[in-house]
Structures are given as structure tokens and as C-alpha cells.
DNA sequence: CACATCTGATTGACACGTCAATCATGCACC
DNA sequence: GGTGCATGATTGACGTGTCAATCAGATGTG
């Protein structure tokens, strides 16, 4: 038992490390491939896509900054920087918020909505080709189970 | 058959998208957690760690820039920028290469070697805690199989 | 009302990553 | 031995991400 607890706290074995590296590198490569396709086909970054998706689904195609930040899971300051750049490309617009003059509303422009529409289908197709179709239905279920296991281990902070 | 080919080219279902998002977000969260631990414990970024690891394992703790780039799997320019920053912190040093005056050699400093040594054990322990110990041995094998499947789908360019 | 404090959001500084351009050396061929 | 191209590496510009500081408007308490 002391053996077990000790073993569990030691460094991974070579096999375990290989699997770990395979996992993390594959995930990154997958992300990179999808990002590059998205960029080629739509001149959007993954960040742009997330923001446009959230706004597309929002009532009146507009959200308070903080709601948008929650929707995409970003920190405020990250969103603020990104929004500034997207505003420059006229994908979104910033309005003052009538009910709270501290707040700002982010509004999807027509151009932004159009950009999202044309990006969406090829992007989803790429997800299917590169992820879903690469795995058997059984493997997909396994993926779900072990991402759940990893998430559970991750959520207790630190 | 037309049905099948069509279905396979369409957008993912809601279930499939959920699994996809879970996968990609978990991988990112895992990376982020490991990066933040590494930074707290050692004041190193993941990039720093990769570079130091490669140099630690190299003959004479030194590598030509291009060999180092291959070892860590980076583009030259990315390595060049990173190396400049690491040189500022005296983790590595750049020497001129005697056999080819175009080339540069990157050398691990004593300080860099020390930084890597103290980062390594806690980092590997974190990998064990957050990844390996979160999964059953059977799940680890599944992970290996499906990262292989994803990689295979990824390697044919585009 | 006055003041402190909380909160929504932005900013600046800096690390990181990619792409295209550049620069210097090596090398092959006439 | 010059000319031209290939190669090793760096640079600059710019998008992206984090952290700490800041700012302005909201709010509660005397």
C-alpha cells in the first residue's frame, strides 16, 4: 500500500508519457488544422468564430460585454482586446448600454452575420471530417467518458 | 448509399458537437492548468520547458538552431523569437557555429540546466495527477488508439 | 448629499505565434 | 574565381493572450 501511494505520486513511465504526448500534440494539431482551414475559407480566427457564434444566437444579435464574455468563456480583458480588433474589421459594433452607462453592448453587424454564415458550414464539415469521421461510434462514446473523467479531475482548483 | 455519403458530409449532430466541444475544451483546460502550475513552480513557460528539455538531452547540452527546431517541432522563426527571450533571462546562450558560419548553436547555461531540473519533477508529477491518474489503464489504452486514429486522419495535408 | 466602495469595462505592457521579407554564408557551375 | 541560387537564421509587423492598473459610472451608508 505504501508502495501504491508512492508509485502513484512518481513520474509517469515512458509508456504513459508517450500516450500523454500523443494526446496533447494531437489535440493541438487538430486545433491548428481547423484554425487554418477556417482562416483560408473565411478569413476568421477561431476567436472571431466563437464571438460571432455567440452573437448570432443572442436575442437581437447583441449582448452585454460581460454576457458575451461568459458565453465564450473568456476573461473580460481578452474579450475587450478581441472586440476592438473585430470592430476594426466591422464584424461587430459597440453600442453604449442604455440601462447602465458603464456597460457596453456588442452588436453583430450585417457583415459579421454574413461572415459567420459562410464560415459555419465548412467549419462544421471540417469538424466532422477531422474528428467525428475519424472515430468509430464506440470511440466517440469513449471520448466522452474520458473527457468527463479529465474534467472532473481538473475542476477542483489547483 | 447516396444517403450514407451525404450524411457523412453533413454537419455534426448536437450529440457529436457536444463530444467535440468537450474534447477540445478539456484538452485546452488541461494545457492551461499545466502551464499555470509550471509557471507558479518554476517561472517557466511550456515553450521554455520544451527548449530546456531538448537541450538537456543533447550532446554537450548544445544544438544547432535547426536541430533544436526539429526537436521541439517548431518553425525556425518561432524558435528564433523564443530563443531571444530566453537568452535575455540567461536560460540559454547563443554561440557562433564553428563549422558553418551561417549557423548558430544554442547552448544550455548552468542556470538553465538548474531551472529545468527543478521544474521537471513537479511538472511530471502534475502530468500524472491531472492526466494519467484521472484515467483507468484501459482508458489510457483507448486514448492511445484514438489519438492514433485522429493523427492518421490529420497527416494527409488538408 | 458626500464619501467610500463595488463593478463593468478598457488600457498598457509584455509574452507568444505566424507570415513574409531579409541577410549572410555556403556551394555549384560556368 | 565570379555569378547565382540554396540554405540557416533573424527581423518586423501584426494578431493573440495574460496580468495588473486604471477609469467611469453605480450603489450603499453616514
- Of A130, A92, A116, A127, whose CA–CA distance to A43 is shortest? A116
Q: Is B151 in contact with A29 (CB distance < 8 Å)? A: yes
Residues in A 33-72 whose C-beta is less than 7 A from nucleic strand C are 36, 64-66, 69
Question: What's the confidence (pLDDT) of residue A155?
Answer: 82
Question: What's the confidence (pLDDT) of residue B9?
Answer: 66
CA–C1' nearest nucleotide, residue A97: C8
Question: What's the confidence (pLDDT) of residue B7?
Answer: 54
Q: What is the band of A98 on the pLDDT scale with cuts at 50, 70, 90? A: confident
Contact B134 A150 (CB under 8 A): yes
Examine the pLDDT at B1 and tell me if it is beyond 70.
no
Examine the pLDDT at A106 and tell me if it is beyond 80.
yes
Domain positions in chain A are: 18-141
Phi, then psi, of B109 in degrees rounded to 5? -85, 165
pLDDT in tens, B103-116: 999 999 999 999 99
| Residue of least CA–C1' distance to C23 | B102
Phi, then psi, of B73 in degrees rounded to 5? 75, 35
Q: What is the band of A8 on the pLDDT scale with cuts at 50, 70, 90? A: low
Q: Is A30 in contact with A24 (CB distance < 8 Å)? A: no
CB neighbourhood size of A15 (10 A): 11
| CB B84 under 7 Å to nucleic chain C | no
pLDDT in tens, B113-150: 999 999 999 999 999 999 999 999 999 999 999 999 99
- Of B138, B129, B147, whose CA–CA distance to B23 is shortest? B147
Q: How much of chain A, in percent, has pLDDT values that exceed 70?
A: 93
Once rounded to an integer, what is the mean pLDDT over residues A17-31?
95
Of residues A57 and A98, which shows the higher confidence score?
Answer: A57
Examine the pLDDT at A123 and tell me if it is beyond 90.
yes
Q: How far: B20 CA to D25 C1' (Å)?
A: 41
Examine the pLDDT at A46 and tell me if it is beyond 80.
yes
| CB B65 under 7 Å to nucleic chain D | yes
Edge-to-edge strands, sheet with A62-64? A62-64, A104-108, A92-96
Question: What's the confidence (pLDDT) of residue A153?
Answer: 92
Examine the pLDDT at A104 and tell me if it is beyond 60.
yes
pLDDT in tens, B9-54: 678 999 999 999 999 999 999 999 999 999 999 999 999 999 999 9
Question: What's the confidence (pLDDT) of residue A10?
Answer: 79
Q: How much of chain B, in percent, has pLDDT values that exceed 70?
A: 93
Separation CA B112–CA B55 (nearest Å): 9
Separation CA B89–CA B112 (nearest Å): 9
Position of cell 481578452? A78
How many Cα atoms are found within 13 Å in the side-chain-facing hemisphere of B126? 21
**Distance of CA B42 to CAs A96, B35, B39, B48, B122, Å?**
43, 10, 5, 10, 9
Contact A16 B132 (CB under 8 A): yes
Q: Which residues contact B123 (CB under 8 A, 6 or more apart)?
A: B34, B37, B38, B41, B42, B49
Q: Which residues contact A48 (CB under 8 A, 6 or more apart)?
A: A82, A86, A91, A115
Question: What's the confidence (pLDDT) of residue B51?
Answer: 98
A127, A142, A150 ranked by CB distance to B30: nearest: A150
Question: What's the confidence (pLDDT) of residue B74?
Answer: 97
Q: Is B154 in contact with A30 (CB distance < 8 Å)? A: yes
- Of B90, B88, B82, whose CA–CA distance to B107 is shortest? B90
Q: Which fold has domain A18-141?
A: Arc Repressor Mutant, subunit A (1.10.10)
Name the strand (E) or helix (H) holding B92: strand B92-96
Residues in A closer than 8 angstroms to B154, CB to CB, are 26, 29-30, 33, 130
Looking at domain B44-130, its CATH class is: mainly alpha
Q: What is the band of A9 on the pLDDT scale with cuts at 50, 70, 90? A: low
- DSSP annotation of A13 reads P
Tell me which of A53-57, A85-89, B1-5, B92-96 is least confident. B1-5
Examine the pLDDT at A2 and tell me if it is beyond 70.
no
Separation CA A48–CA A46 (nearest Å): 5
Question: What's the confidence (pLDDT) of residue B5?
Answer: 52
Once rounded to an integer, what is the mean pLDDT over residues A147-154?
94
Amino acid at each position: 500500500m505504501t508502495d501504491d501511494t508512492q508509485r502513484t505520486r512518481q513520474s509517469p513511465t515512458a509508456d504513459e508519457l508517450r500516450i500523454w504526448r500523443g494526446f496533447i500534440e494531437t489535440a493541438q494539431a487538430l486545433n491548428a488544422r481547423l484554425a487554418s482551414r477556417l482562416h483560408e475559407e473565411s478569413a476568421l480566427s477561431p476567436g472571431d468564430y466563437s464571438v460571432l457564434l455567440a452573437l448570432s444566437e443572442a436575442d437581437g444579435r447583441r449582448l452585454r460585454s460581460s454576457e458575451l464574455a461568459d458565453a465564450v468563456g473568456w476573461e473580460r480583458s481578452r474579450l475587450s482586446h478581441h472586440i476592438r480588433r473585430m470592430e476594426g474589421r466591422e464584424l461587430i459594433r459597440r453600442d453604449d448600454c442604455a440601462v447602465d452607462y458603464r456597460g457596453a453592448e456588442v452588436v453583430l453587424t450585417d457583415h459579421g452575420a454574413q461572415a459567420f454564415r459562410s464560415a459555419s458550414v465548412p467549419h462544421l464539415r471540417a469538424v466532422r471530417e477531422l474528428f467525428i469521421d475519424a472515430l468509430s461510434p464506440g470511440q466517440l462514446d469513449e471520448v466522452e467518458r474520458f473527457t468527463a473523467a479529465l474534467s472532473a479531475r481538473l475542476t477542483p482548483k489547483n
